């Protein structure tokens, strides 16, 4: 065995492989401010919300970032738009929207380049205090329509135009 190549082989083994794409994690979801689409504490309801948010955040990351970059998002807190009012009819399935119950999420993110080096990172609380006054492109039946629009706005502000959109084109 040629010992001159041993340091290079060891270095290659200790360097993690770069994987482009979007990774979304949920930290301490039991402690989130308000992360229930239905007024239920069933694990299936929480898992469904996490799955839908993970899929949407992945779609946004794929739409905004180049293929050779990786985005990691750690969701630290969620406060969905509206609130449940237990004294009203349909209290378990209807979130009542008022101007003081805007959506917000606390996110920690990191963008890495193809060499694995961090290009951008931070922790931010994303919110939409005017959520009831802004036009919304999502269906009324989409229970996350306000959160999606809020995340759209954040991605646009943080990462610029989606790929394939150029100045003057919509």
Does residue 28 carry a pLDDT above 60?
yes
Q: How far is CA 44 from CA 47, 52, 119, in A?
A: 5, 12, 36
- pTM here is 0.80
Who wins on pLDDT, 12 or 25? 25
Highest mean pLDDT, choosing among 26-35, 108-117, 129-138: 108-117
- Closest of 23, 149, 146 to residue 75, by C-alpha: 23
How many CA atoms lie less than 13 Å away from 109 in the CB half-sphere?
20
* Confidence bin at 167 (pLDDT 50/70/90): very low
Q: Between these two residues, 129 and 17, which has the higher pLDDT value? A: 129
Q: Which of 29-38, 95-104, 115-124 has the highest mean pLDDT?
A: 115-124
Q: What is the mean pLDDT of residues 72-91?
A: 85
Q: With contact defined as beta carbons under 8 Å apart, do 127 and 150 qualify? A: yes
Residue 73 tokens read as 């998002």
Judge whether 111 and 126 are in contact, CB under 8 Å: no
């Amino acid at each position: 065995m040629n010992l001159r190549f041993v340091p290079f082989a060891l270095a290659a083994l200790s360097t993690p492989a770069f994987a482009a794409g979007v990774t979304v994690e949920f930290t301490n979801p039991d402690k989130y401010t308000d992360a229930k689409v239905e007024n239920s504490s069933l694990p299936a309801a929480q898992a469904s919300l996490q799955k839908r948010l993970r899929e949407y955040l992945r779609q946004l990351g794929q739409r905004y970032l180049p293929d050779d970059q990786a985005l990691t998002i750690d969701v630290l807190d969620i406060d969905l738009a509206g609130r449940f009012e237990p004294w009203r009819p349909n209290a378990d399935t209807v979130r009542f929207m008022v101007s003081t119950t805007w959506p917000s999420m606390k996110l920690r993110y990191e963008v890495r380049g193809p060499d694995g080096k961090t290009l951008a990172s931070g922790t931010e609380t994303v919110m939409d205090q005017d959520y009831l006054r802004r036009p919304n492109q999502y269906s009324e039946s989409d229970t996350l329509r306000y959160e999606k629009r809020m995340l759209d706005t954040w991605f646009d502000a943080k990462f610029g135009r989606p790929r394939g959109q150029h100045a003057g084109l919509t």
